[in-house]
Amino acid sequence: MQALFNRLSPSWDLTEQLNYAHRNMLPRVQIALRRDKFRDFATLKLLASRIEVSCNAATNYRAPPTPEKSLFPELAYRSPRKASRGGQTGAMGLLAPVVTRNRKIAGRGRVSAVASGPSTAAGPGTSAVSASALVRPVSAVKCHIARVCGERRRTYCFRCGRPDMTVKACPTCSGNAEENR
């Protein structure tokens, strides 16, 4: 390319030659190689050849075999398992507050005691199954957020507060109310 630039009758300066060479490169190399990264043809050749090698390696990449098809399945890479969103893990029971004479409500990073409702303390004759039955997942529907909820589950419209109604079914909040015209 430099021989062709030397044949030009009004010779171009080096920056014009480099700009022209950069414009006529392959688009994938042109995207990866910024114009301000080189100031001579030697650096341009070096950087462009490195990019070509990495582009060829990327196009010829073959994914590793699955652990079942590998030579040593016990040594094969296994991706980390994602935590399921539906169920609760066993560690969640450790995060739930201990229930004593007062119901405890788990807030955001803090635990506060509420002194209302019946006592839920485990007596000497209760088994471990009944103690674990006290810790429920977050299931109180719109009355309050608590893992241990002693109140009856109830629903209400959280916009206007109408009992036994959800926002979707509420005539005033869902937009289905009859308008007085």
**150-166 pLDDT, tens digit each:** 777 778 888 888 888 88
User: 27, 49, 77: which is the final residue of a domain?
Assistant: 77
Task: Assess if residue 110 is contained within a domain.
Answer: no
Task: Assess if residue 93 is contained within a domain.
Answer: no
Q: How far apart are CA 160 and CA 149, in angstroms?
A: 23
In the prediction, which pLDDT does 81 show? 77
Q: Which residues contact 102 (CB under 8 A, 6 or more apart)?
A: 113, 114, 115
Task: Assess if residue 165 is contained within a domain.
Answer: yes
Q: Are strands 111-114 and 103-106 parallel, antiparallel or unpaired?
A: antiparallel
Which of 5-19, 59-73, 96-110, 133-147 shows the lowest mean pLDDT across its residues?
96-110
Task: Assess if residue 118 is contained within a domain.
Answer: no
Task: Assess if residue 84 is contained within a domain.
Answer: no
Task: Assess if residue 131 is contained within a domain.
Answer: no
SS3 percent helix, strand, coil of the chain, rounded to 5, is 30, 5, 65
**Sign of the four-CA dihedral 67, 72, 74, 78:** negative
In the prediction, which pLDDT does 141 show? 54
Distance, C-alpha 175 to centroid of its chain: 34
pTM of the model: 0.39
**68-94 pLDDT, tens digit each:** 888 888 888 887 877 666 555 545 444
In the prediction, which pLDDT does 179 show? 56
Q: Pick the closest to residue 168 from 178, 158, 180 (CA basis).
A: 158
User: 77, 104, 132: which is the final residue of a domain?
Assistant: 77
Q: Pick the closest to residue 25 from 60, 58, 1 (CA basis).
A: 1
What is the maximum alpha-carbon separation in the chain? 105
What domain range includes position 168?
Answer: 142-175
**30-83 pLDDT, tens digit each:** 999 999 999 999 999 999 999 999 999 999 998 888 888 888 888 888 878 776
Task: Assess if residue 100 is contained within a domain.
Answer: no
Could you give the number of structural domains in the chain? 2
The residues with which 114 forms a beta bridge, in sequence order, are 103
Task: Assess if residue 116 is contained within a domain.
Answer: no
CB 63 within 8 A of CB 77: no
User: 57, 77, 97: which is the final residue of a domain?
Assistant: 77
